[in-house]
Amino acid sequence: MLLPEPRIYRDVSLEEAILKRRSIREYSEEPLRLEDLSQILWAAQGITDPSRMFRAAPSAGATYPLEVYLVVKEVVDLEPGVYRYIPANHSLQVIKEGDYSYHLYRACLNQRWVLDAKANIVITAVYERTTSVYGERGIRYVHMEAGHAGQSIYLQSTALGIGTVAIGAFYDEYVEEVVGCEPGERALYVFPLGYIKE
């Protein structure tokens, strides 16, 4: 399914987003809007130079080891399920149908904000895409890229009035099972998303 086109200009400056960026663990009951979710996915890994297929986050040698999944609980015009983000055409691919937020919550050591979120982004990595070029040093480059993508998620979320928090405490294999990882693909990050509670 194609996502709404990302918006390039908005009222919140980069400087303001940096100033206001915080880890937020309390969310309102309002469902996420698909256009806001689309914007966050684009900021994480969207295409910013179609002629060369460069993405929003820098990648060593443009090897792009990251995969971005979405575990949807309550998003307007999007059924609950697990989706993979496809940067090439800014779309979502259905991996599993149904609400898997409870399974992700359990995989994330029962951190309540994972369950309370209206959607969770899960970032995984296929290390071999980068290590095949850079050897063992590529492992470091993959982690650096995940950090770049994570900060973009934080800043774009802040600009949209959406709260998030970077989660690294989870059972790796359980998270990988929830999102349906391929062999050789490893979970790195989870980002719950929900509008900031007033």
Q: What is the predicted pLDDT for the residue at 173?
A: 98
Section 150-177 average pLDDT: 98
pLDDT of residue 198: 79
Please provide residue 44's backbone torsions phi and psi, each rounded to the nearest 5 degrees: -75, -45
First to last CA, the chain: 32
Summary mean pLDDT of the chain: 96
User: Stretch 34-58: mean pLDDT, rounded?
Assistant: 96
Predicted local confidence at residue 118, as pLDDT: 98
Is pLDDT at 10 greater than 80 in this prediction?
A: no
Q: Which residues, including other chains, have CB under 8 Å from residue 58's CB and lie 6 or more apart?
A: 145, 148
pLDDT in tens, 84-137: 999 999 999 999 999 999 999 999 999 999 999 999 999 999 999 999 999 999
Position 9 pLDDT exceeds 80: no
pLDDT of residue 7: 86
- pTM for the full model? 0.96
Q: Which of 8-17, 44-53, 64-73 has the lowest mean pLDDT?
A: 8-17
- Say which residue the tokens 């295409």 belong to: 47
Q: Which residues contact 51 (CB under 8 A, 6 or more apart)?
A: none
Would you state the pLDDT for residue 88? 96
Euclidean distance between CA atoms 186 and 31, whole angstroms:
29
Q: What is the pLDDT of residues 24-37, one digit of tens each?
A: 999 999 999 999 99
User: In the chain, what are the domains?
Assistant: 28-87+98-195 (3.40.109.10)
The pLDDT score that the predictor gives to residue 63 is: 98
